[in-house]
Structure 1
């Protein structure tokens, strides 16, 4: 029973730690055109499909099409607008192509079949920027710290007879809420331990 009470005591703290942990999403593969694949007239316009998705760096696009009849050409914006397939950045023509989204920004895809491109078989994908973590605060220079005047080791004070200092009221910042959350979690844990101990 004591271990059960200890478990209840730890739950609020685990929740608090877990809520501050960030999980990175794994890279995803997107099938361009869904079941239809890379075709001339899809049931959903490719750019509408792209706007519904949130592409991240390291995701991949899967293009499925008829080899020998069609292909996928990665182009610059001006070539995208005019369906110019003569100066491609990259051309994929194996019928089952994977394109890695290696960086953020806009990617432009057109059909390698000029007639298909002019009929609207083209796609613009926006890859979202990678969010950088906030920089850590820089500690103050050593010259601001007070000089050490004594070389004696710090004294130890026995724990008996000590009381907790009374803290002044704080503002209503998020750090205050964290303290209240932890305090309530510990109080809840002690109450649960007391009830379990009554059995």
Structure 2
């Protein structure tokens, strides 16, 4: 039980230390063991490129008070080593600077000659990672309005057609095949006139022959 309690306390201390360090930021020693000097063993900007800086991190400039200083300046003054209008001036020796925002920071020596010899530094602080914004709640199925779809017209009714009349089969033919076929009226009148004309000619011939014989 004693060893478990000790391990639990040790873990709590480690986690607490990590939280405190993450809140306060990390402390970077500019120039390492050389400090803030004119000719460091490693170029200051090369050193800065090897590190990752975040908000709340601090820079520690090691130098003797009265012999040098650190100036925070705009980019134009950094390029020209102008020491007359600094944004912030650190002159107390072994100065500490804390990053309060992301973006680039430009530092030069308070001595313009030292700045022209390369005693200056550019640090780019990484942007703060923001938590993803909460997404709006997914709408419930009842609140979702279904998309309207075009209603197709009902199919037109198919017209009904009567089945074709079937020709009568041999079984449906009339039973009385020997019955005389009726003759049309025109054919009857024509035949009757022909008979009458024939009898009239014969009668006239007989009458004419009788008259000639009596003479």
TM-score by length of 2: 0.54
The 1:75/1:136 distance shift into structure 2, 3 A limit, reads same
What's the secondary structure of 2:45's corresponding residue? Answer: helix
Structure 2 equivalent of residue 113 of structure 1: 111
- Aligned pairs for 1:166-185 (under 5 A) are none
Measure how far apart 1:131 and its partner are. Answer: 1.1
Q: Equivalents in 2 of 1:75, 1:109: separation in Å?
A: 6
Structure 2 equivalent of residue 135 of structure 1: 133
Measure how far apart 1:144 and its partner are. Answer: 4.8
1:74 correspondence with 2:72:
yes
Q: Equivalents in 1 of 2:20, 2:131: separation in Å?
A: 12
1:90 correspondence with 2:118:
no
Q: Equivalents in 2 of 1:49, 1:102: separation in Å?
A: 21
- State the number of aligned residues: 124
Structure 2 equivalent of residue 46 of structure 1: 44
What's the secondary structure of 2:113's corresponding residue? Answer: helix
Structure 2 equivalent of residue 60 of structure 1: 58
What's the secondary structure of 1:58's corresponding residue? Answer: coil
- Name which structure has the greater RCO, CA cutoff 8 Å, separation 6+: 1
Q: Which runs of 4+ in 1 moved over 3 A?
A: 140-146
Measure how far apart 1:132 and its partner are. Answer: 1.0
Q: Equivalents in 2 of 1:124, 1:144: separation in Å?
A: 58
Q: Equivalents in 2 of 1:109, 1:86: separation in Å?
A: 13
What's the secondary structure of 1:30's corresponding residue? Answer: strand
Assess if the C-alpha contact under 8 Å between 1:110 and 1:121 holds in 2: yes
Q: Equivalents in 2 of 1:84, 1:132: separation in Å?
A: 36
What's the secondary structure of 1:50's corresponding residue? Answer: helix
Equivalent position to 1:37, from 32, 35, 41? 35
- Aligned pairs for 1:153-192 (under 5 A) are none
Measure how far apart 1:141 and its partner are. Answer: 5.6
Give the unaligned 5+ runs of structure 1.
1-22, 147-199
Q: Equivalents in 2 of 1:144, 1:127: separation in Å?
A: 49
Assess if the C-alpha contact under 8 Å between 1:60 and 1:98 holds in 2: yes
Cα root mean square deviation, aligned: 2.0
Measure how far apart 1:145 and its partner are. Answer: 3.6
What's the secondary structure of 1:95's corresponding residue? Answer: coil
What's the secondary structure of 1:103's corresponding residue? Answer: coil
Give the unaligned 5+ runs of structure 2.
1-18, 145-215
